[in-house]
């Protein structure tokens, strides 16, 4: 049995985008399951638009996703072979050179190479879509090179696929219209025809095609947002492919084991950022605390260093961040926003501190804080949120029983004294993260403000 060889052939004219990453993933899964070879070929024939940073990004992002190629090629390195094939076609009278007006300046002429189109009906069996046929007459004699030593995509890709022994080509459905040209070239050159599988395009919520020019669709963007590679692989795999069953979460090795091209859908797959973030949150929660903090990368190296006490506070926030954040970018925003009170003593305002005080019960807020202060003194360092709640909540329940200000008369000034914010984690979680000593200091500061 012939070994399966697939390839992913990106052009370095932009950052690696979702569509290409998914195509690479499907090719990788199909190949690895069959024990074949996976090729990465940089198609750098567009010298005007190619940029080194884009090529570097393609290598970096595919490696980050874990889609490692067995072989790497660069199309421009095969220029001599492309020219050789062009000369063969011309010598056999299967192609010809033609002088034509230049597109950018019709007053000038350029010499291009065109394939003589025999006008045949081309048919092939798409592994996803079944039988497809084209009447190639309407294609005419199409251009395959700008000059004898400057091939266009159609010729270069056909020659490279043959020379690299590619057996299966998995690509987006927007390439279906290219296939008859490629088959005509394969026939003219005496090459075999690989098996083709055209996967559905990725669509936006309005059913328009995802475009790297219109939408932020680069892998780099979402990596910088704090998406994990496990999450992006998991999400992309289920974007246009259904393994069957209700299971949602898969590792890359698990996907290799179950991948089947026959379960790739024919219709476009709609990109849903909310769903991507939900999948990412699952994989964030699955991380150990150490790995979570490594990915969090906060504070930014070189901007500031944490003391040992601050490091311990940060470690204590991990369960809270796992519960709330969908990306590491969101987690960092929380640490700089509503959770900033954990790392710096907040400024608090007297009026806000007294927000729950009733006019006919003056001094109730100060009394509540004094009771809380005594209770905090009894708590040990390393106290859990549950133990803090068991100790402090009875004070709020007692206020509720008195019918004065309810639990809020106790819990609000405690929350505000600890955080200085209207939105924050519950006060018991804050006591646990800050530690009883720090919490006591902040409550006493609030009492001093009321006494001032």
- Whether residue 140 contacts residue 118, with contact meaning beta carbons closer than 8 Å, is answered with no
Contacts of 299 (CB under 8 A, 6+ apart): 305, 306
Instruction: Check if the beta carbon of residue 347 is closer than 8 Å to that of residue 417.
Output: no
Q: What pLDDT score was predicted for residue 339?
A: 93
> What's residue 225's pLDDT?
94
pTM over 0.85: yes
Q: What is the pLDDT of residue 10?
A: 94
pLDDT (0 to 100) of residue 104: 81
User: What pLDDT was estimated at residue 105?
Assistant: 84
What are the per-10-residue average pLDDT scores of the chain (452 residues)? Answer: 89 92 97 97 87 95 98 95 97 95 86 95 95 95 94 96 98 95 97 96 80 74 96 96 92 97 91 95 97 88 66 92 97 93 93 87 90 96 95 90 80 95 91 96 96 85
pLDDT value at residue 212: 61
Token pair 């002429």: residue: 109
Helices (H), 167-237: 179-189, 219-225, 229-237
Residue 110 bridge partners (DSSP): 100
Question: What integer pLDDT is reported at residue 9 of this predicted model?
Answer: 95
Alpha-carbon gap, residue 261 to 246, rounded angstroms: 19
Q: How many Å apart are CA 59 and CA 363, to the nearest integer? A: 66
Instruction: Specify the pLDDT at position 308.
Output: 82
- Cα separation, 56 vs 184, in Å, equals 34
Q: How far apart are the first and last CA of the chain?
A: 87
Q: How far is 417 from 261, CA to CA, in rounded Å?
A: 59
Cβ atoms of residues 256 and 29 within 8 Å = yes
Read off the tokens for 185: 């070239």
| CA triple 312-316-319, angle to 5 deg | 155
Indicate where the chain has its CATH 1.10.10.350 domain(s): 345-451
- The verdict on domain 345-451 having CATH code 1.10.357.10 is no
């Amino acid at each position: 049995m012939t070994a399966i060889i697939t390839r992913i052939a990106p052009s370095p004219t932009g950052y690696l985008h979702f569509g290409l990453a998914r195509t690479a993933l499907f090719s990788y899964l199909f190949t690895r399951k069959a024990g074949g070879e996976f090729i990465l070929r940089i198609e750098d024939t567009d010298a005007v638009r190619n940029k080194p940073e884009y090529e570097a990004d393609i290598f970096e992002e595919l490696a980050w996703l874990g889609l490692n190629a067995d072989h790497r090629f660069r199309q421009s390195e095969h220029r001599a072979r492309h020219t050789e094939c062009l000369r063969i076609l011309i010598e056999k009278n299967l192609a010809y050179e033609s002088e034509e007006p230049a597109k950018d300046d019709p007053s000038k002429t350029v010499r291009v190479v065109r394939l003589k189109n025999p006008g045949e009906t081309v048919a092939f069996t798409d592994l996803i879509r079944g039988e497809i046929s084209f009447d190639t007459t309407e294609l005419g004699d199409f251009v395959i090179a700008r000059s004898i030593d400057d091939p266009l995509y159609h010729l270069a890709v056909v020659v490279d696929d043959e020379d690299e022994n590619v057996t299966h080509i998995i690509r987006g459905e927007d390439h279906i219209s290219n296939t008859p040209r490629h088959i005509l070239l394969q026939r003219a050159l005496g090459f075999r025809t690989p098996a083709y599988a055209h996967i559905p395009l990725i669509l936006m919520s309005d059913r328009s095609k995802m475009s790297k020019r219109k939408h932020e669709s680069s892998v780099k963007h979402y990596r910088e947002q704090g998406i994990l590679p496990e999450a992006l692989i998991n999400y992309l795999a289920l974007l246009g492919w259904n393994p069957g069953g209700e299971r949602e979460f898969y590792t890359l090795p698990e996907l290799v084991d179950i991948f089947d091209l026959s379960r790739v859908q024919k219709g476009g797959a709609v990109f849903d950022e909310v769903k991507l973030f939900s999948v990412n949150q699952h994989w964030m929660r699955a991380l150990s605390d150490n790995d979570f903090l490594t990915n969090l990368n906060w504070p930014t190296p070189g901007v500031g260093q944490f003391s040992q006490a601050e490091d311990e506070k940060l470690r204590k926030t991990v369960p809270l961040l796992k519960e709330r954040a969908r990306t590491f970018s969101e987690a960092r925003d929380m640490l700089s926003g509503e959770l900033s009170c954990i790392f710096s003593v907040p400024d608090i305002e007297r009026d806000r501190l007294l927000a729950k005080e009733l006019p006919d019960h003056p001094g109730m807020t100060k009394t509540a804080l004094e009771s809380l202060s005594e209770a905090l003194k009894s708590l040990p360092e390393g106290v859990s949120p549950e133990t803090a709640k068991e100790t402090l909540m009875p004070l709020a329940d007692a206020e509720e029983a008195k019918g004065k200000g309810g639990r809020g008369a106790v819990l609000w000034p405690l929350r505000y004294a600890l955080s200085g914010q209207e939105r924050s984690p519950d006060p018991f979680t804050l006591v646990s993260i800050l530690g009883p000593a720090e919490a006591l200091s902040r409550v006493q500061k609030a009492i001093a403000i009321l006494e001032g």
